[in-house]
Structure 1
């Protein structure tokens, strides 16, 4: 079985990374043992819920039956993701998992997928992001797993490299920002490069063939003091070139992203939930302005569909599921507004109300009674009274 190392910047259990996971899973033998290491988030009260969502994601979207385990012995496929890098390092070092992970890479065996916090541990040093960003510790490094050393790479890995959640303050580089990262780079051993993985982006390394490619939505930045090279998604290269880049010797010969057949256009990028939510809100606003309640209701349904797709995401970046649900509630509450406007203009209500009742019925069928009640209240605000009867809902215009 060919060995591979997959490092992800974020989005590890989101729709954006499904194809990357599937490609790695296709290399596994029938009946392969797949293990999820929950160590990075094992201190959290919702540990079991995070693991359950991840297992559902891999079963439904990737076709892998995954077991939660404390070790990797005998595993063909290993995954670890969000949480605290330092919490994971301390426990992996004490339990021997750290050595087992290094042995997997050194032997070029099995599929090892490390994302977000777990990816942060893969280099010779690790960013203690919780301690620095959330507790206020002075910028410093912790010793890493150094899984890249057997590959001849002297580097640290920084996920969430293009993070923009800070808005008014710099949260790039795994929430460090430029000021702190520049200071910390001076403390790295001489000749150490930074491998920066953007969110929803992966570096996939074929350990046997020593090839590598960047997949997803962003890019891989190879950064050294005073210089940086960005390999965008689609770039295919090899470990020899990555070594040269990490040593500052290969910037002029970086392979370009692979081309697609003529006329096929660029490869479509999976939208994030935040982007989809914004698009649905824009369509909703345009539909309400008409008013076209069929289109407005469809925008809400499209947003709901996306929320379901992203429900398994274990690490919600900016614009996560909770924010999307809040937006959906807001849109539902606004659905009744055009009914009042239309009534005042003596327009027919049926074309406005029937699509909203159909949406309410769907919500009730799915057990989403809170949202269905929100929609009913919105209709009442708009001058439409909905009464549930044994023969189905009946509505009248309020006098």
Structure 2
């Protein structure tokens, strides 16, 4: 009998706040202590302070999840062709050791470019298929989609609307996902709609039309997490906001405490709009 892949926590934002604590607690609660957590540095690997970004997350885990006695190590898979190359065995080693791997803020397209086809990513996939637990927040959640939203390129640089091929973590399980964190972002205030991960509803509607019709959009509000449990075949919503599943102009929304079948991410049968 083949075991199910490990559960995955997808976090819209707030990985070092209450929502993150809830997501990690749900993800790790059945593991023996101490829990071994590896933090993947790739999403912010282009930043001079990439190590500091990862270590702040490690500090959060140790200080706010003491019941798990977190043993934290780092995966410095920052850039191809350097001492931090994701193909270097010493870089990959913490993935072999971990009970759970986390990746978070940074650039989704950078993460895709640096990890696609590498030893780090391949080993993570192999271990996940054997039960390794995964947590992806913000940029990393986008990067593991089938179609990844190039946030910086569109929002900061003004590139033409497009999607890029993501790492497609769930593709082998027959999911075709575009994961969109920061779904309800309001940083733009009254003057600028920054919902839908800074795209705004009008621009995001145009982006949706560029996706193949079989694509399912998984929108995750800020300070909200969606826990995918493949052994049980269900997803749970944690945190302050809502998880939205949208496909072909139809959608479902689920708030904290709600549970829905993972099969819903493959087919939608409702008439609510995006």
TM category, shorter: 0.7 to 0.9
Would the alpha carbon gap of residues 149 and 181 (structure 1) be closer, same or farther in structure 2, given more than 3 Å must change? same
Query: Structure 1 residues 108 and 206, CA, compared in 2 at 3 Å: closer, same or farther?
Result: farther
Deviation at 1:31, TM superposition (A): 4.2
Higher helix share: 1
Pair 1:188-2:225 in alignment: no
Structure 2: segments with no counterpart, 5+ residues: 78-91
User: Separation in 2 of the partners of 1:198 and 1:104?
Assistant: 28
RCO higher in structure (CA 8 A, sep ≥6): 2
1:28 alignment counterpart: 31
Secondary structure of the corresponding residue to residue 10 of structure 2: strand
The verdict on how the C-alpha distance between 1:206 and 1:222 changes in structure 2, with shifts beyond 3 A counting, is: same
Question: Secondary structure of the equivalent of 1:174?
Answer: coil
Verify the 8 A CA contact 1:8 1:197 in the aligned structure 2: yes
Structure with more of its chain in strand, by fraction: 2
1:149-188 alignment, distance < 5 Å? 149-167=171-189, 168-188=191-211
Partners of 1:56 and 1:48 in 2: CA distance: 12
Query: What secondary structure, in the 3-state scheme, does the structure 2 residue paired with 1:234 have?
Result: coil
**Unpaired runs of at least 5, structure 1:** 253-399
1:68 pairs with 68, 74, 82, which one?
A: 74
Counterpart of 1:291 in structure 2 is: none
| Correspondence list, 1:331-346, <5 A | none
TM-score calculated relative to the size of structure 2: 0.83
Within 5 Å, which residues of 2 pair with 1:134-283?
134-167=156-189, 168-240=191-263, 242-243=264-265, 246-249=266-269, 251=270
Is the 8 Å Cα contact of residues 213 and 247 (structure 2) preserved in structure 1? Answer: no
Instruction: Name the SS of the counterpart of 1:231 in structure 2.
Output: strand
Structure 2 residue aligned with 1:81: 104
Q: Which has the larger radius of gyration?
A: 1
Which residue of the partner structure matches residue 62 of structure 2?
Answer: 59
* CA distance, structure 1, for counterparts of residue 111 and residue 52 of structure 2: 18
1:54 and 1:218 mapped to 2: Cα distance?
A: 22
Q: Distance in 1 between matches of 2:110 and 2:104?
A: 12
| Cα distance per residue 1:82-105 (max 9 Å; x no partner) | 000011111111533333343344
Q: Is the 8 A contact 2:34 2:71 kept in 1?
A: no
Please state if 1:40 is matched with 2:51: no
Provide the secondary structure at the position in 1 that maps to 2:196: helix
Superposed displacement of residue 23, structure 1: 2.4
TM-score by length of 1: 0.58
Partner of 1:371: none
> C-alpha root-mean-square deviation of aligned residues, in Å?
2.0
Q: How far does residue 4 in structure 1 lie from its aligned partner after superposition? A: 0.7
1:112 Cα shift?
A: 0.2
Give how far 1:46 is off. Answer: 2.2
String of CA shifts for 1:285-313, please: whole Å, max 9, x gaps.
xxxxxxxxxxxxxxxxxxxxxxxxxxxxx
Distance in 1 of aligned mates of 2:31 and 2:7: 11
Query: What displacement does 1:29 show?
Result: 2.9
How far apart are residue 199 of structure 1 and its match?
0.4
Tell me the distance in 1 between the aligned counterparts of 2:29 and 2:142. Answer: 25
